[in-house]
């Protein structure tokens, strides 16, 4: 194949999260990059050389496609400066764990104000100018015609915006989460000027990109009210991991994997569990609440206040491979999303791994949540709102009775459409049509 044809198949992917970063932010493009060469596309991945990642999972480095070209440039990280004052507050805020307003310290309030008003759209904005300067030359020398930016952090879209203006490349903006309607946006103590700037940048990005990718139908609808550019939904998904078949836990384990933020605090669940351990001795003897990942102090306080502390196995952050194994061991998987209008569009990445784990899911979230429709279509579990305590309790009891009879399992249908390889095929087709 001639060099010209080879170069035409190269796609530059600009992402902040990349191994050894842990957590959900890294998974989407790690897996797209894994499969893009199967569809005739050569991925070139641009990442920071010295990032500040709140979570580290070195095991993910083994999953990087050896065919991918990885290029790096140093980044100036304000979170490094902030950590000199408080490492814990800095790590929490960079992870999206924002303390309840009533419990925020003066330092935490100041950090949130600085983050929201001085670093627009986010703390990685200082990477934009040096990246544009470097990448202009790189894409010219390599003959790259297509650039993809993925956010958050949404400052990376500003790199794509400038490259589009200066080099005329084809540009795809991928939004793993929304911008100005994301759950934590309102917690950043934005002044009027900062809020206006966010809106202006969001509008410019959405109306300049050649194509916009989102992860949910609600975000697609939201963005289509802002732009006439094409908007395509490509959800997150699951991969066929080399995880040995697991023996289910002997206990009736209800497992939550991932960050359990303050706003994801389903009081109806804790109340339902409190009633079950009081009313049903068998349930009390068998039950265990398994927490894997960062858990906010507010959530732990609610659990303790409900008399459930003795049932908790708080495992903290574990590697992705360990998390996958624990999913398959657990009797029931718990999925919780913030109860607000703004989070109806959020389809947590772990939902798809949950579905592939072949364990029943109990999900709690806002009425009208997009992920509730996916669960219903795939027959992978039960969805309840934050007010449906009786529905939650009845579901847990139904699962528990099946557990006692040795018949607790998921009977999923139609999962293949959410496999990472099939989703990458959809992405590749989009790229070839640009």
Better-predicted residue by pLDDT, 334 or 259: 334
Residue 245 lies in a domain: no
**pLDDT of 37-50, one tens digit each?**
999 999 999 999 99
pTM, two decimals, is: 0.85
User: Are 269 and 356 within one domain?
Assistant: yes
Residue 244 lies in a domain: no
Residue 270 lies in a domain: yes
- Predicted local confidence at residue 419, as pLDDT: 94
Three-state SS for the chain is: CCHHHHHHCEEEEECCCCCCECCHHHHHHHHHHHHHHHHCCEEEEEEECCCCCCCECHHHHHHCCCCCEEEEECCCCHHHHHCCCCHHHHHHHHCCCCCCHHHCCHHHHHHHHHHHHCCCCCCCHHHHHHHHHHHHHHHHHHCCCEEEEEECCCHHHHHHHHHHHHHCCEEEEEECCCCCCCCCHHHHCCCHHHHHHHHHHHHHHHHHCCEEEECCHHHHHHHHCCCCCCEEECCCCECCCCCCCCCCCCCEEEEEECCECCCCCCHHHHHHHHHHHHHCHHHHHHEEEEEECCECHHHHHHHHHCCCHHHEEEEECCCHHHHHHHHHHCCEEEEECCCCHHHCCCCCCHHHHHHHCCCCEEEECCCCCHHHHHHHHHCCEEEECCCCHHHHHHHHHHHHHHHHCCCCCCCCCCHHHHEHHHHHHHHHHHHHCC
User: Are 405 and 426 within one domain?
Assistant: no
- Predicted local confidence at residue 24, as pLDDT: 83
Residue 242 lies in a domain: no
Confidence label for 93 from pLDDT (cuts 50, 70 and 90): very low
Distance CA(66)–CA(419), nearest Å, equals: 21
The domain of 43 spans: 3-237+420-432
User: Are 269 and 227 within one domain?
Assistant: no
Provide the CATH number for the domain around residue 60: 3.40.50.2000
pLDDT at 198 over 60: yes
**pLDDT of 63-74, one tens digit each?**
999 999 999 999
User: Are 138 and 57 within one domain?
Assistant: yes
User: Are 328 and 231 within one domain?
Assistant: no
**pLDDT of 376-397, one tens digit each?**
999 999 999 999 999 999 999 9
User: Are 304 and 372 within one domain?
Assistant: yes
Backbone φ and ψ for 335, nearest 5 degrees, come out as -125, 125
- Predicted local confidence at residue 332, as pLDDT: 98
Residue 399 lies in a domain: yes
- Predicted local confidence at residue 392, as pLDDT: 98
Q: Are 160 and 209 in contact (CB under 8 A)?
A: yes
Which of 355, 314, 317, 351 lies closest to 336 in space, CA to CA?
A: 351
pLDDT at 31 over 80: yes
- Predicted local confidence at residue 282, as pLDDT: 98
Confidence label for 295 from pLDDT (cuts 50, 70 and 90): very high
- Predicted local confidence at residue 111, as pLDDT: 66
Residue 247 lies in a domain: no
And the tokens for 143?
A: 């003959």
**Structural domain count of the chain:** 2
């Amino acid at each position: 194949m001639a060099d010209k044809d080879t170069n035409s198949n190269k796609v530059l992917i600009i992402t902040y999260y990349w191994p050894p970063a842990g957590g959900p932010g890294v998974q989407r493009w790690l897996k797209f990059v894994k499969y893009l060469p199967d569809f005739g596309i050569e991925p070139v991945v641009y990442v920071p050389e010295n990032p500040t990642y709140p979570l580290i999972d070195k095991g993910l480095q083994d999953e990087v496609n050896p065919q991918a070209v990885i290029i790096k440039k140093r980044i100036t990280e304000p979170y490094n400066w902030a950590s000199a004052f408080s490492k814990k507050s800095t790590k929490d805020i960079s992870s999206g764990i924002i303390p309840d307003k009533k419990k925020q310290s003066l330092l935490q309030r100041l950090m949130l104000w600085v983050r929201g008003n001085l670093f627009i759209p986010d703390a990685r904005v200082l990477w934009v100018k040096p990246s544009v300067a470097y990448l202009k030359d790189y894409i010219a020398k390599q003959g790259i015609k297509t650039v993809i930016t993925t956010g958050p952090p949404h400052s990376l879209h500003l790199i794509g915006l400038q490259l589009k203006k200066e080099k005329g490349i084809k540009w795809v903006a991928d939004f793993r989460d929304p911008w100005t309607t994301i759950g934590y946006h309102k917690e950043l103590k934005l002044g009027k000027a900062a809020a206006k700037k966010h809106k202006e940048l969001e509008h410019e990005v959405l109306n300049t990109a050649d194509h916009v990718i989102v992860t949910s139908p609600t975000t697609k609808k939201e963005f289509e009210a802002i732009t006439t550019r094409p908007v395509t939904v490509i959800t997150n998904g699951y991969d066929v991991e080399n995880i040995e078949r697991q023996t289910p836990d002997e206990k009736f384990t209800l497992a939550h994997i991932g960050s359990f933020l303050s706003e994801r605090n389903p009081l109806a669940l804790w109340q339902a569990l409190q009633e079950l351990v009081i009313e049903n001795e068998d349930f009390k003897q068998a039950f265990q609440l398994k927490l894997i990942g960062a858990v906010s102090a507010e959530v732990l306080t609610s659990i303790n206040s409900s008399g459930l502390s003795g049932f908790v196995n708080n495992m903290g952050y574990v590697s992705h491979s360990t998390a996958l194994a624990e999913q398959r061991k657990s009797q029931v998987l718990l999925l919780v999303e913030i109860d607000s209008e703004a989070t109806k569009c959020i389809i947590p990445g772990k939902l798809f791994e949950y579905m592939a784990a072949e364990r029943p899911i109990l999900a709690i979230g806002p009425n009208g949540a997009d992920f509730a429709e996916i669960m219903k279509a795939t027959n992978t579990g039960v969805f309840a709102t934050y007010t449906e305590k009786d529905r939650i309790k009845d579901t847990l009891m139904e699962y528990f009775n099946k557990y006692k009879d040795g018949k607790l399992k998921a009977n999923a249908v139609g999962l293949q459409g959410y496999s990472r390889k099939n989703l990458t095929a959809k992405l590749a087709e989009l790229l070839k049509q640009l």
